[in-house]
A = this chain, B = another copy of it.
Amino acid sequence: MSDLNGTEIQRSPHFADEEDRRHVRDRVIFFSDAVIAIAMTLLALELPVPHGRTAAEAWHSFLELLPEEYLNFVISFGVIAAFWTAHHQYFRHIHAVDAALRRYNLGWLFLIVVVPFATRVNSQDGHFPLGPVLYAIVISGIALMMVFMALHAVRAHLLRPQAPPHAMRRLLVGAGAAAAVFLLSIPVSFASPS
- Tell whether A183 is near chain B: CB-to-CB under 8 Å: no
Residues of B within 8 A of A88 (CB): 24, 27-28, 31, 102
Interface size on A, residues (CB 8 A): 63
- When all copies of this chain in the complex are counted, the total is 4
Interface residue ranges of A154-181 to B (CB < 8 Å): 160, 162-164
- Known contacts A44-B117, A49-B120, A92-B23; decide if A127 and B35 are in contact (CB<8 Å): no
Give the residue among A44, A84, A116, A127 with the most B Cβ atoms within 10 A. A44
Cross-chain contact A129 with B55 (CB below 8 angstroms): yes
A4–chain B nearest beta-carbon distance, Å? 21
- Tell whether A41 is near chain B: CB-to-CB under 8 Å: yes
Interface of A (DSSP majority class):
helix
Apart from A31-B36, A38-B42: 16 A-B pairs, beta carbons within 8 A: A16-B92, A16-B160, A20-B162, A27-B29, A27-B88, A30-B33, A34-B34, A34-B38, A35-B40, A40-B113, A41-B113, A44-B117, A55-B130, A81-B109, A85-B102, A88-B102
**Which residues of A approach B to under 8 Å, CB–CB?**
16-17, 19-20, 23-24, 27-31, 33-45, 47, 49-55, 58-59, 62, 77, 81, 84-85, 88, 91-93, 102, 106, 109-110, 113-114, 116-117, 120-121, 124-125, 127-130, 160, 162-164
